[in-house]
Amino acid sequence: MVDLAADCMSAEEKELLLSPQVGGVILFSRNFSSVERLVKLIEAIHELRHPRLLIAIDQEGGRVQRLREGFTQLPAINLLGQMYDSEPKRAAELATVSGWLMASELRSIGIDFSFAPILDLNYGVSQVIGDRAFHKDPEVVSLLAIRYVHGMRNAGMQAVGKHFPGHGAVTADSHIELPTDIRKFQDIAMQDLVPFKRLIDNGLAGLMSAHVVYENIDPEIATFSKLWLQDVLRKQLEFNGVIFSDDLSMKAAFCNGQGNDQGSGQSDGEGDSEVSDEYLLRTNKALDAGCDMVLICNSSENACLVAEQLGDYNNPASQMRLTRMHGGKDPKTYQDLRNSKEWQRAVSQVESYQDSPYGELAL
């Protein structure tokens, strides 16, 4: 899965998206200038291939919401967790509404799925997770996440839980450094794995791996770990959905690589052979560990080189899993959705808790 530089495709990007080794596009804020232009870009991507390329985005709400103007400003999901402590029934209902609202707006413009919801626990130590998590209690996270995913499914969207097996107990930000978790497996299993298992038992279609080293369990980050992705996730937790890697351009993925210590997880943009070798190494390690699809973002030159160097790589099992991630149902158009009473009611409900005392607690 790769990204694009602007609100339209360049000739080089179009060529990359035609590569058989590219299966999807992730959109960012830079791809949005207006709803109309975004819809045209999505239509252009869809027209390139059959079956269509998957189109994804991070539209969690709160700090991580790529599309804002023209879309409902979604509160951080931690507000639902705070509400749950005093009004559990209302919090559960609003979790369903929030999942539906997020998903229905994205489906109305042709986006297949958002990388959501967060299943990490809010231990109060991770700045990169923080209010992106529902709660610190794994049972509360499980309940609210199941309701949120139910809302997404009602809108024709599958969910991707993240970041397996749990990113909430480390302070480091994997975008810029390597997080290390020193806990024992039993502790992680009794806490962080609980929401993942609950969601898997409820038919979760996708998961994203964490660029975190759990040093008392495996020296590799989870993204590169057969122990985590195959032994624990596939065998013990019986997960049959898609495993996405987190972005392989992140520093934590580089920190766990071999041989090329260049001090940065970002490409220098010049297609240097050592850089491309490093990205190919990361890709092969992730695929070998059990990832079905890897993300390479903000590094178009290396994404192109990796696509070329993967050659005739083919994994029919992964392709079958990925077909499930295509958006379902026949979504309303952008304007028809906004004219519907269901959408208007959902917006009113979400705005009611965004402006509540719970919102003040989260600031």
Residue 254 amino acid letter = F
Is 268 annotated in the active site?
no
For the chain, percent helix, then strand, then coil, each to nearest 5? 45, 10, 45
**Bridge partners, residue 162, by sequence:** 118, 208
Output the six-digit token pair for 276.
């491309």
CA distances from 276 to 4, 253, 259 (A): 19, 14, 12
Tell me which residue of 11, 7, 76, 20 sits closest to 50, measured CA to CA: 20
**Pairing state of beta strands 59-61 and 64-65?**
antiparallel
Contact 114, 56 (CB under 8 A): yes
Catalytically annotated residue among 46, 150, 175, 326: 175
d(CA 343, CA 287): 40
Residue 68, classed as helix, strand or coil, is: coil
Output the six-digit token pair for 179.
């997080």
Output the six-digit token pair for 209.
């791996």
Is 175 annotated in the active site?
yes
Catalytically annotated residue among 3, 173, 218, 246: 246
CA angle 7/8/9 to nearest 5° reads: 135
What is the Cβ-side half-sphere exposure of residue 132, based on CA atoms within 13 angstroms? 24
CA distances from 42 to 116, 123, 222, 298, 350 (A): 20, 38, 32, 19, 27
d(CA 87, CA 179): 35
Residue at token pair 């060529």: 15
**Pairing state of beta strands 293-295 and 213-214?**
unpaired
DSSP classification of residue 31: G
Residue 351 amino acid letter = E
Residue 143 amino acid letter = L
**Bridge partners, residue 223, by sequence:** none
Catalytic positions, written as ranges: 175, 246
